[in-house]
């Protein structure tokens, strides 16, 4: 039996059906961001090769789901692609928990279109107008005469929260937008839909889709690190203030030189 268990769980199932598992100091449970998921998976595989007494179980579901499960005591680590919210910290205090966030990598939210789209760049204001429905045809921004298919992450997503803050600035996405549950699903849908536009973590970029420059800056390791790319962000692993030793050992591994090399291999930006 493989030690690493990847569970593709629906959000509703995670939020309603999980119950605290029996305490096992040699088992680490992780849930949350689909952006952080590839890093956690790769790191867990390498980590368990040298820590054969420890089993790591990982599932996605979104940053909000992961944090909710951490607050409920169901998991050891919540992966998140956004900062924990004040209301989540308040719940933690009410439960007697002191949640600690560890920055484990950097990322840029890449805005992607179908490869048939002739556009190569866009500015944040135009992007906002597309996602709020004010621009609904590509010809309005110099593209082909083709309806814009707006694709967004669902509301449990940390990527959605960061995009809402940095791009939408408090406004709502158009009611016609297609809300999807993962980076991978958005990338696949954009690749198959000529008029589509979406946003994903840079670790999910492939040759099947086109990343747009944002205000003349392309998402890359360099532009994310130096802060010139406007949709840059940090990625986190959240724990309770007193994580069990195995959990601390795993997070220390992710922060090590070997762990940060894995971050880079997963397509993200290492801290150093």
Torsion of CA 89, 95, 98, 103, to 10 degrees: -50
* CA separation, residue 94 to residues 71, 85, 98 (Å): 10, 14, 10
pLDDT of residue 241: 86
Beta strands 5-7 and 55-61 are parallel
Tell me how far apart the alpha carbons of residues 270 and 265 are, in angstroms, rounded to a whole number. 10
Which H or E run includes 100? strand 99-114
Angle at 169 between CA 166 and CA 171, to 5 degrees: 135
- Select from 74, 70, 68, 69 the least CA-distant residue to 22: 74
**Residue bearing the bigger pLDDT, 16 or 242:** 242
Q: DSSP readout, 102-113?
A: EEEEEEEEEEEE
What percent of the chain clears pLDDT 70, i.e. is strictly above it?
A: 91
CATH 3.40.190.10, the chain: domain bounds: 5-106+234-265, 107-225
Contact between 267 and 105 under an 8 Å Cβ cutoff? The reply is no
pTM above 0.75, yes or no: yes
Superfamily for domain range 107-225: Periplasmic binding protein-like II (3.40.190.10)
Q: Residue 6 above 70 pLDDT?
A: no
pLDDT class of 145 with cuts at 50, 70, 90: very high
pLDDT tens digits, one per residue of 159-199:
999 999 999 998 999 999 999 999 999 999 999 999 999 99
Q: Assign domain 5-106+234-265 to its CATH architecture.
A: 3-Layer(aba) Sandwich (3.40)
Q: What are phi and psi of 7, to 5 degrees?
A: -110, 115
Torsion of CA 106, 112, 118, 119, to 10 degrees: -60
Count of CB atoms situated within 10 Å of the CB of 252: 11
pLDDT tens digits, one per residue of 61-82:
999 999 999 999 999 999 999 9
Segment 258-265 long-range contacts (CB within 8 Å, at least 24 positions apart): 258/46, 259/43, 259/104, 260/105, 262/39, 262/42, 262/43, 262/46, 263/39, 263/104, 263/105, 264/221, 265/42
């Amino acid at each position: 039996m493989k030690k690493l268990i990847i569970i593709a769980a629906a959000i509703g199932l995670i939020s309603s059906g999980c119950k605290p598992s029996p305490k096992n100091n040699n088992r680490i449970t992780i849930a949350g961001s689909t952006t952080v998921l590839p890093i956690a998976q790769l790191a867990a595989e390498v980590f368990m090769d040298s820590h054969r007494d420890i089993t790591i179980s990982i599932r996605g579901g979104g940053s909000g789901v992961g944090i909710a499960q951490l607050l409920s005591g169901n998991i050891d680590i919540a992966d998140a692609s956004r900062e924990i919210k004040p209301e989540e910290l308040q719940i933690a205090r009410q439960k007697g928990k002191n949640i600690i966030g560890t920055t484990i990598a950097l990322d840029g939210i890449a805005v992607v279109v179908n490869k048939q789209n002739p556009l190569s760049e866009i500015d944040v204001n135009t992007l906002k107008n597309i996602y709020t429905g004010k621009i609904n045809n590509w010809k309005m921004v110099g593209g082909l005469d083709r309806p814009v298919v707006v694709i967004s992450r669902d509301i449990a997503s940390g990527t959605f929260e960061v995009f809402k803050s940095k791009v939408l600035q408090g406004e709502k996405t158009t009611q016609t937008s297609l809300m999807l549950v993962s980076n991978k699903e958005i990338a696949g849908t954009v690749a198959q839909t000529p008029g589509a536009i979406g946003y994903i973590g840079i670790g999910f970029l492939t040759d099947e889709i086109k990343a747009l420059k944002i205000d003349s800056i392309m998402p890359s390791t360099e532009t994310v690190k130096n802060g010139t790319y406007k949709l840059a962000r940090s990625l986190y692993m959240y724990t309770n203030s007193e994580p069990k030793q195995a959990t601390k050992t795993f997070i220390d591994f992710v922060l090590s030189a070997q762990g940060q090399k894995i971050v880079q291999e997963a397509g993200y930006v290492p801290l150093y």
